């Protein structure tokens, strides 16, 4: 999916919601556990319930990898079930020496056909550049994350810049706004003004709204650009809105609630 298609989907749905599929088999409703593939059945119900209100799904690969070979099967089935007009993210946080990254890029862009993948940039340009060589595929680079430990490295100074600012400047110099995004946590909303001075045109993937307490209003106020430029991710607050047989209906209600809030700004 290219930039124009993503923007068109956002404007058509009046939503910039990304639903995170952090599907933990220990948390899904008990009545699904006797199914052949409980994880896929859960994801399928969530997708059916939320697809009208979101423009992206973020599949957290760790939750699938934890289940071994059958987890990869569940992940591939989930990816194939997502409607083609919805942007797909492999939340895999890859980034390694060149040859290895080429293989990771092939795995997620050719074998699994995700639209994008999250990337850890700290081994440098050659460790993530292979992901930007695919047409209409995106690399989503970790910049300023929402976790407590972000202060250990990302918010440390490197000369006049914070490390996350160096990531933004360096990465945006060898990519473009059409195939690169950056992860910026909603809990760091006050930093969006600084970030937008460096990357005014790029999309930002924003976790932390919902269960982590980030403010949608603040993110929009400081982070939105003329092309919207935001994908707001919500995972637990939507997919685990209920642990009972009504889990899909409750997920739908939460997704609709967030989409309705977003529509105000579009």
End-to-end CA distance of the chain: 21
**pTM of the predicted model over 0.85:** yes
Q: Give pLDDT, residue 212.
A: 61
Which residues, in sequence order, are bridge partners of residue 20?
58
Q: Which residue has the tokens 């059958």?
A: 70
Q: Give pLDDT, residue 55.
A: 98
203 backbone φψ class: left, alpha, beta (φ>0; ψ -120 to 50): beta
Q: Give pLDDT, residue 122.
A: 93
Q: Give pLDDT, residue 215.
A: 82
Q: Give pLDDT, residue 187.
A: 73
Angle in degrees, CA 136, 46, 260, rounded to 5:
80
Q: Give pLDDT, residue 152.
A: 86
Q: Give pLDDT, residue 151.
A: 85
Q: Give pLDDT, residue 101.
A: 97
Distance CA 247, CA 254 (A): 11
Q: Give pLDDT, residue 213.
A: 63
Q: Give pLDDT, residue 186.
A: 82
Q: Which domains does the chain have, with CATH numbers?
A: 3-263 (3.20.20.70)
Q: Are 121 and 128 in contact (CB under 8 A)?
A: yes
Q: CA Rg, the chain, in Å?
A: 18
Q: Give pLDDT, residue 211.
A: 58
Instruction: Show which residues are catalytic.
Output: 93
Ranges in the chain, pLDDT < 70: 210-214
């Amino acid at each position: 999916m290219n930039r124009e298609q993503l923007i068109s989907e956002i404007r058509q749905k009046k939503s910039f919601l990304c639903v995170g599929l952090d599907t933990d088999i220990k948390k899904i409703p008990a009545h699904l556990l006797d199914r052949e593939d409980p994880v896929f059945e859960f994801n399928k119900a969530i997708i059916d319930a939320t697809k009208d209100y979101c423009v992206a799904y973020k599949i957290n690969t760790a939750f699938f990898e934890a289940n071994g070979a059958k987890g990869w099967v569940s992940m591939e089935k989930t990816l194939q079930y997502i409607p083609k007009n919805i942007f797909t993210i492999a939340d895999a946080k890859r980034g390694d020496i060149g040859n290895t990254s080429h293989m990771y890029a092939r795995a997620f862009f050719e074998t699994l056909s995700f639209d994008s993948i999250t990337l850890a940039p700290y081994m440098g340009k050659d460790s993530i550049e292979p992901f930007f060589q695919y047409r209409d595929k995106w690399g989503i680079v970790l910049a300023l994350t929402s976790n407590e430990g972000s202060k250990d490295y990302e918010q440390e100074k490197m000369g006049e810049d914070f490390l996350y600012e160096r990531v933004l400047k360096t990465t945006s110099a060898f990519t473009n706004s059409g195939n690169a995004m950056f992860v910026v946590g909603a809990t760091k909303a006050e930093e969006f003004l600084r970030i937008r001075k460096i990357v005014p045109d790029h999309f930002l993937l924003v976790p932390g709204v919902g269960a982590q307490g980030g403010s949608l209003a603040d993110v929009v106020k400081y982070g939105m650009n003329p092309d919207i430029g935001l994908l707001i991710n919500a995972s637990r607050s939507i997919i685990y809105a209920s642990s009972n047989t009504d889990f899909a209906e409750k997920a739908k209600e939460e997704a609709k609630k967030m989409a309705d809030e977003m529509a105000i700004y579009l």
